[in-house]
Structure 1
Amino acid sequence: MQAFAVAMSQLPLPSDAALAHSAELHGAIVREIEAAGGWLSFARYMELALYAPGLGYYSAGARKFGAAGDFVTAPEMTVLFGEALANQVAQVMAATQPQLIEVGAGSGRLAADLLLALERLSALPERYAILDLSADLRQRQYETIAAAAPHLLSRVEWLDSLPAQFSGVVIGNELLDALPAHLVVWTGDGIRERGVALGEDGRFTWNDRPATGALLAAAEEIGHQCTLAPGHLSEISLAVSAWSAEWGHRLAQGALLLIDYGFPRHEFYHPQRNSGTLMCHYRHHAHPDPFYLPGLQDITVHVDFTAVIAAAHGAGLDLLGYASQGQFLLNCGILDRLAAITPETPDYYRASSAVGKLLMPHEMGELFKVIAIGRGVDAPLLGFLRGDQGHRL
């Protein structure tokens, strides 16, 4: 506890305006807790902290991605990530329809890189749709694409909701980890849901109550499949399962390519991971306190990829591949793209360093996974020709 307090004290101080913004969101969450009778599920708290209109982390105007933000995603590290991914996207579009949707497009960096790479492959989509409800991020995405690929901007459109029917490729890079998750404790007396209440000082505090409904059913299933000692705390994202299943009603033909950090279920709920995976990111500092400055920090949980494919398969979709990010990018030719850069130049050294972080097991190569789910795609996918780990799910 003392080490945690020291770590939190070392976080950068926000501006007065940022503190006022956080205080406003804090007040809004307090009012919702009071209106709900004094208790909110953590999933609802996470939803408000990240997506409350005009106040949530992803809904307001603070810069989130890149060196000036709170974390760096793979597309921000090197253009080679998008160039390698483009090879897989082109294969699926050639077998289905030349349409692409990116859900949660961040800064727009991946969209710009993919468009340029697909242009070089003579495989441009007729339409590159972006689903992002944040007006601030939509503007930044527009500016990024306009600066990098102005001649391709006419192919890009922004969606307000998922299409009723779609054929082509759907991309979600670091999307699922930011969908709301419930906190669950398996105890000797039953399964309890850990939610958010108010302490006497008006601050947020943890409060447990018996789990019910769909959450209880999911927790019981996990308890039967995994060895969980009393007191095991972890996350269950009903939102991730629902989102994955929804595509069974909307995807006529094509594939979802989902890239995120996580594990198969037996690893996600491993006895040694008995405190869960909840983590927050603020100014490139990672810490475990989701109550710190709501609205100014990201809140994430790892992905249970078994839950993803179970929900998708139940909705009629197939598992098309599951691999580590490192293996997927190797299969998609990222080293060939690196080799195309003039050796012993600053550009080469920067790209080589970034590729190392994307591929190496002790960096992002093993923790991040790529799962492909879809319908009507018969040919083996390029990114999973070697090292497919679907059997582990």
Structure 2
Amino acid sequence: MPSSKPADTAGGEPHSLNGRPDTGVLAELSAQIRGAIARNGGWLPFDQFMGLALYAPGLGYYSNSSRKFGALPSSGSDFVTAPELSPLFGQALAQQVAQALQATGTQEVFEFGAGSGALAEQVISSLEALGQPLARYTIIDLSGELRERQALRLARFGDRVQWAQTWPSAMRGVVLGNEVLDAMPVNLLHFDGQQWLERGVVWDEATQAFAHADRPTDLRPSLEDLSGFVPGTTTEVHPQAEAFIRSLAEHLQHGVALFLDYGFPEAEYYHPQRIGGTLMCHQAHVADTDPLVNVGLKDITAHVNFTGVALAAQDAGLQILGYTSQARFLMNCGLMPLLAAASVQERTMAQKLITEHEMGELFKVIALASAEVTLDPVGFVAGDRTHRL
């Protein structure tokens, strides 16, 4: 069965073997991480380890030559995202994009972390079908290797599609991020019953492998009352994702931002029963919880704390327009008529977008907007959960 996450930087093109980075590339990444550990006194915070493992130029998981996205392990991929699962995902999302473009009087979409380019292809085509063609679709992606694959897929749209490696100085339009926030490095915290410790990474000379090591820290989960945490709990905090939202507020002069990802509001994220946290790895459509092995060969993610995202947005001057499950959002955006017109095979795949045990409930959608925008977004007309954030 295909694995949708979660299951149960520019750089040169690395050499590859059967679609996977060769051993030299993996050894170079390991050496780079060991060097960072040594320069940091023998201990590296987990967010820095995760950043290198995923984004080290030409070497990290998202920068090397491995195929990430696909429906089945036989394709050499590691997981499937909603746009690869069904084109109806992008078609439904385009309804919300079209409304937001009209409300803001803009003609540009910005997508962060565009993956295979499938979502961009679906959104651009769907907006054309709706009679609302874009002037420009800008993809902001750190991975040079992924940019090359996106360019091949989106070539038919010509120079309307552009790429950037850094924040555009002024953004006016609609911002999209599908499974972007979950891939931002996180800090790991461990509660031993007496104190909070930050979990980092060291190099163990005896085993010649990476290992975890804890240090006292002032970092804490964002809950006001920390008394409910069970001794032995490991969890995450998300300063980089929240900093990203603050940067978005600085650059989004006039527009709407939509983020779709798996996660929870704060009360669920830090529930006392979630003692192992949410950190997860994905390789060949199999999920595991050990980020210290096969470094560079597998994805490392953490669920999104949507309360943290919302508070960071509000503190930076953005509005919260809505928050709901992916299933409710897509149905509000017209997925059901699209399903009715689809083939049986297309319906089977698209159903995974909304069924509760697949992506429908675990995945959420949050809509943010610059202060002056007036919009009652169609994707949240029923089932809005903003009050739960």
Q: Is the 8 A contact 1:323 1:370 kept in 2?
A: yes
- Tell me the distance in 2 between the aligned counterparts of 1:63 and 1:72: 11
Superposition map of 1:178-217 within 5 A: 178-199=183-204, 200-212=206-218, 216=219
Do the aligned partners of 1:50 and 1:295 also contact (CA within 8 Å) in 2? yes
- Aligned pairs for 1:155-234 (under 5 A) are 155-199=160-204, 200-212=206-218, 216=219, 219=220, 221-222=222-223, 224=225, 227-234=228-235
**Which stretch shifts more, 308-317 or 228-237?**
228-237
Match of 2:369 in 1: 374
Q: Select which of 81, 85, 92 maps to 1:84.
A: 92
> Kindly tell me: are residues 300 and 230 of structure 1, through their superposed partners in 2, closer, same or farther at Cα, counting changes over 3 Å?
same
* Partner deviation per Cα, 1:229-258 (whole Å, 9 max, x = no partner): 222210111101100111221112211100
C-alpha deviations, 1:65-119, integer Å up to 9, x for none? 1132100000001111000000000000011111110000000011011110000
- The 8 Å contact of residues 18 and 296 in structure 1, kept in 2 or not, is answered as no
- For 1:225 and 1:349, the matched residues in 2 are separated by 49
Identity among equivalent pairs (%): 47
Distance of 2:226 and 2:131 partners within structure 1: 47
How far does the alpha carbon of each residue in 1:236-281 deviate from its partner, in whole angstroms, 9 at most, with x for none?
A: 1110110011122111221110000000000001111111011100
**Aligned-pair CA distance for 1:16:** 8.8
Give the letter for the 2:236 counterpart. Answer: E
Consecutive unaligned residues of structure 2, counting only runs of 5 or more, are 1-16
Q: Which amino acid aligns with 1:84?
A: A
How far 1:27 sits from its partner (Å)? 1.6
Check conservation: 2:19, 2:65, Cα contact below 8 A.
Answer: no
Paired AA for residue 377 in structure 1? V
Distance 2:52 2:331 in 1: 38
Normalising to structure 1: TM-score of the pair? 0.90
Aligned ranges for residues 203-282 of structure 1 at < 5 Å?
A: 203-212=209-218, 216=219, 219=220, 221-222=222-223, 224=225, 227-282=228-283
Q: Give, in angstroms, the shift of residue 378 of structure 1.
A: 1.6
Distance 1:137 1:323 in 2: 30
Name 2:143's counterpart in structure 1: 134
Match of 1:71 among 76, 79, 93: 79
Alignment CA distance shift 1:373-1:78 (3 Å): same
RMSD over aligned CA atoms reads 1.6
Amino acid at match of 2:348: S
TM superposition shift of 1:379:
2.4
User: What's the offset of the Cα at 1:211?
Assistant: 1.2
**1:6 is matched with which residue?**
none
Q: 1:226 to 1:391 in 2, by over 3 A?
A: farther
What secondary structure does 2:225 align onto? helix
With normalisation by structure 2, the TM-score equals: 0.91
**Counterparts in 2 of 1:385 and 1:303: CA distance versus 1, 3 Å:** same
For residues 10-63 of structure 1, what are the alpha-carbon distances to aligned partners after superposition, in whole Å with 9 as ceiling and x for unaligned?
xxx999963332222112111211121100000000000000011000011111
Establish whether residue 352 from structure 1 lines up as the match of residue 347 from structure 2.
yes
Secondary structure at 2:336 match in 1: helix
Matched with 1:5 is none
Residue 308 of structure 1 deviates from its aligned partner by: 0.2
Aligned length: 366
Is residue 144 from structure 1 mapped to residue 140 from structure 2 by the alignment?
no
Deviations 1:179-209 (A, max 9, x none): 0000001333322100001222221111000
Quick one: distance in 1 between partners of 2:329 and 2:111?
Answer: 19
Work out whether residues 260 and 370 of structure 1, in 8 Å CA contact, stay in contact via their aligned partners in 2: yes
Correspondence for 2:382 = 386
Label 1:34 to 1:267 Cα distance change in 2 as closer, same or farther (>3 A): same
Residues 92 and 377 in structure 1, CA contact (< 8 A), matched pair in contact too: no
The 1-side partners of 2:311 and 2:368 are apart by 11
- Does the 8 Å contact 2:313/2:368 carry over to 1? yes
AA aligned opposite 1:259: L
Q: Which moved more, 1:222-231 or 1:365-374?
A: 222-231
Structure 1 residue 223, shift from structure 2 partner: 5.5
What are the residue-to-residue correspondences of 1:17-32 with 2, within 5 Å? Answer: 18-32=22-36
Equivalent residue number for residue 123 of structure 2: 114
Query: After superposition, what is the alpha-carbon deviation per residue over 1:303-342, rounded to whole angstroms, capped at 9, x for unaligned?
Result: 000000010100000110000000000000011112233x
Secondary structure of 1:224's aligned partner: coil
